[in-house]
A and B are shown apart, each in its own frame.
Chain A
Amino acid sequence: MEPEIERTDLKRRARGLWEDAGMFLVFAAMFVVLAAFVPFFFSVQNMVGLALSVSMVGMVACTMLFCLASGDFDLSVEGTVVLAGVLCAVVMNATGSITLGILAGLAGSALVGFLNGVIIAKLKINALITTLAMLYIVRGLSFIVSNGSAVGIANESFFQLGNGALLGLPNPIWITAALFLLFGVLLNRTTYGRNTLAIGGNKDAARLAGIPVDRIKIIIFTVQGLVSGAAGIILASRMTSGQPNSSVGFALDVISACVLGGVSLTGGIGTLFGVVVGVLIMGTLQNAMNLMNIPTFYQYLAKGGILLLAVMFDQIKQRKA
């Protein structure tokens, strides 16, 4: 009897590892293959470049994870990113103060998130529709504030934020890593994170378990706005201007990365580790295709294919479990 139990236990653990880390193993295999066959891929310079290229998606994926895990959706993030950049640039130019510019960008984006949250939680309007509408509104506002063209930034010390480096790594990478850590802790070790997953798992049961569902939803969307705003400001710093036409399709990139990382679109399931892997898979793929000079048009095909494969892979895994 005893060894029987141990064996099934071992089997269960093996299956558990596969379930938890399956995507990571896929990523690791992909990484090794690329490192072996794609020239320049596994160089310090390319690795730093890769990390920098995923930093934007990575930052916003942290909060998108919470949004999806709670069973909602946010398409407005790309608008928020743009609005924060433009607002920051305009206010900075008008006042000459970096602090005021950043604060304006953050305040504007947090407000967008807060409105999303209130409309979704209190007025019970579908998140997809709400954030789609908000996306149009925020894009529109960005064009209005910027008069339809890029707003150049005069204050050069602001560029340090996105272009400076610490210990050889560009600042955005440090910021992204810090956010991963912060949101990982929030998800696993705080009632905020656990309640988020519970709401996604079963909203009615969550309310009856004494979870303040509406309040948590509003917080989730407000933080989502805030972090998108921060990403937008960093982007503005890297591009030395606030650009109202940029970041088209960014929200879908973020959501794709989350889904690749095993976050359930119906809510209740998601890990930060998974999201990190999802972000890295997307970024690595793009990076390798760039190195191999694959034209952008074909890159879209590859991205779509990978996303479909990942979802099917996940389905098969769940059916087995």
Chain B
Amino acid sequence: MPVQDYLRFHGIQKTFPGVTALDGIDFGLREGSINALVGENGAGKSTLLKILSGAYSPTAGYLELAGQRRDFRSTRDALQAGIAVIYQELNLVPDMTVEENLLLGHMPARLGFIDRAGMRRAVAAELERLGERIDPAAKVRSLSIAQRQMLEIAKALLLDAKVLAFDEPTSSLTEREVRKLFELIRELKRKGCCIIYVSHRLEEIFELCDAVTIFRDGRLVEDRKDMTGVDHPFLVSRMVGRSIENVYSWRPRPLGDCALEVSGLTGRGLREPASFSVRKGEILGFFGLVGAGRSELMKLLFGAGGPCGGEVRIHGRRASYRSPRGALGHGIALCPEDRKSEGIFGVRSVAENINISVRRTYTRFGWIHPGRERRNAEGFQQRLRIRTPSLAQPIAKLSGGNQQKAILARWLSEDIKVLLMDEPTRGIDVGTKNEIYSIMYELAERGIAVIVVSSDLPEILGVSDRVLVMREGRIVASLDRAEAAPDLILRHALPQAEARA
């Protein structure tokens, strides 16, 4: 063996009642390398990270760190061994300051009193090193997602972590913030850190990683020490176990009359009145950097974005409403960006999540028909292939993709005319993404106007018939599918000063 692995997984197995999440995972990672870990949702990546971080202990097998067997009994053990896992959902206390968060659990203290000055010095030095201009005394609540992520990294570095694992770190970062993060990760690599990088964005993996390990259904299916011969179709086919020719599989379809016409819409998040229209059967993409006002525009359209002005016409008729309930009454529905906090009712059953909204339209005096609802939920379970052991299962236990399908089923239970989808496939694996796109096309073919908001440029290019670009609260460009090229879209989306540079 020419190069010694720094971190090795030996025959890791993890079972939960009724499920084997990981089985026979055997691979190693070298110092000073960035290792991609890919697989569909539920393939076992998160479970492996949890074992690495000490949150779970493996049912069988063990970890080897610098040639020594280690058995972590808690996350604290793993941290002390120099392993830091930076999760998608960041572990920061929003109402504490930057410095308190950074040193949480090991604040410098004298005689039990916190040494504020010492704390500030340590933190300031670390933030400086990361090139971040963050006030150590600021509350974490006031920071952007990217800044919070930097804090997580700083936290790991303060502990001299040698192994850093990133779980979907770019899912809510802007393009510019992603660049910065990549720079930092490369810097860590030069310092000899062993880096694990989990992401659904395969482009990032080609750009950043030196090695790749592919998981499918809890097993390791591919372990490559270098990226030669590894390309996009290869990764996708190994991940899903079949080859997906084109993830988007867009095809032309006939467009109808105008379905939604927005003129002079004003409200929170918009710097300029917004006007645009969508035709029946059209898929309209909205691209823009985070903070460009796309989500705000969707919320306004759905009556959930606070006070607004302007005019909305649906199928030619003027629609005025001031709440989501009102918007639904006119046939506008929204699949929100943040599924967990705005989309699903986690503790309620899958069936309940599907039926919650349509009841409004069929009940008299609020009287529910259980049979009708059961048939509705079962119908969608089959049609959209919602994978769940039972419709009575709390929806929080389903994967993100299946949750999204249930939310789609919620809206498809009704007679909708315009469907707004904000980040429809965020955190969803490739195989399920494909299914979500198919559902979108099917809806469009039925004459529903679909508006898709996404930070994922390939996705926008892949599914849209037309693309609107937003920048700093304004719609700045409208491009047909034929003319929508990535560089052109980005040029419109980037702040002007930056685009010129």
Interface residues of A (CB under 8 A from B): 8, 12, 188-192, 194-195, 197-198, 201-202, 204-212, 264, 268-269, 320
Assess whether B334 is interfacial by the CB under 8 Å rule.
yes
B345 pairs with A208, CB closer than 8 A: no
Assess whether B344 is interfacial by the CB under 8 Å rule.
yes
B343 pairs with A191, CB closer than 8 A: no
Given contacts A210-B325, A210-B360, A268-B347, contact A191 B342 (CB under 8 A): no
Q: Select the residue from A195, A210, A211 with max chain B CB neighbours within 10 A.
A: A210
| Bound CA–CA A170/B157 (angstroms) | 71
Given contacts A201-B347, A201-B348, A208-B324, contact A190 B367 (CB under 8 A): yes
| Bound CA–CA A201/B357 (angstroms) | 14
B347 pairs with A189, CB closer than 8 A: no
Which chain A residue shows the least CB distance to B333?
Answer: A210
CB < 8 Å neighbour of B324 from A192, A202, A207, A269: A207
Closest CB in chain A relative to B237 CB, distance in Å: 28
20 new A-B contacts, CB < 8 A, other than A189-B368, A211-B356, are A189-B367, A190-B367, A191-B359, A191-B363, A191-B366, A194-B368, A198-B345, A198-B356, A202-B341, A202-B345, A206-B356, A208-B302, A208-B324, A208-B336, A208-B343, A209-B357, A211-B325, A211-B357, A268-B345, A268-B348
| Bound CA–CA A192/B302 (angstroms) | 23
B18 pairs with A190, CB closer than 8 A: no
CB < 8 Å neighbour of B344 from A188, A202, A212: A202
Assess whether B304 is interfacial by the CB under 8 Å rule.
yes
A-B contact pairs, 30 of them (CB 8 A): A12-B389, A189-B370, A190-B366, A190-B367, A191-B360, A192-B366, A194-B352, A194-B359, A194-B368, A198-B352, A201-B345, A201-B346, A201-B348, A202-B341, A205-B336, A205-B343, A205-B345, A206-B345, A207-B323, A207-B324, A208-B343, A209-B324, A210-B327, A210-B328, A210-B357, A211-B357, A211-B360, A264-B347, A268-B347, A269-B347
| Bound CA–CA A200/B175 (angstroms) | 37
Given contacts A205-B341, A210-B324, A211-B356, contact A191 B334 (CB under 8 A): no
Which chain A residue shows the least CB distance to B368?
Answer: A189
| Bound CA–CA A188/B373 (angstroms) | 13
Residues of A within 8 A of B360 (CB): 191, 210-211
Which chain B residue shows the least CB distance to A188?
Answer: B368
| Bound CA–CA A139/B293 (angstroms) | 50
Dominant SS at the B interface? loop
Assess whether B216 is interfacial by the CB under 8 Å rule.
no
Closest CB in chain A relative to B345 CB, distance in Å: 4
B: interface residue count bin: 20 to 34
Interface residues of B (CB under 8 A from A): 17-18, 302, 304, 323-325, 327-328, 334, 336, 341-348, 352, 356-357, 359-360, 363, 365-368, 370, 389-390, 410
A207 pairs with B304, CB closer than 8 A: yes
CB < 8 Å neighbour of A191 from B336, B368, B410: B368
Given contacts A8-B18, A191-B368, A194-B368, contact A208 B352 (CB under 8 A): no
Q: Select the residue from A189, A191, A192 with max chain B CB neighbours within 10 A.
A: A191
| Bound CA–CA A206/B356 (angstroms) | 9
Which chain B residue shows the least CB distance to A201?
Answer: B345
| Bound CA–CA A210/B324 (angstroms) | 5
Residues of A within 8 A of B367 (CB): 189-190
Closest CB in chain B relative to A223 CB, distance in Å: 13
CB < 8 Å neighbour of A205 from B328, B344, B365, B368: B344
Which chain A residue shows the least CB distance to B361?
Answer: A210
Can you list the 3 inter-chain pairs with the closest CB atoms, starting with the nearest?
A201-B345, A190-B366, A191-B366
Residues of B within 8 A of A320 (CB): 17
Residues of A within 8 A of B302 (CB): 208
Closest CB in chain B relative to A201 CB, distance in Å: 4
| Bound CA–CA A207/B363 (angstroms) | 19
Which chain A residue shows the least CB distance to B357?
Answer: A209
| Bound CA–CA A251/B356 (angstroms) | 31
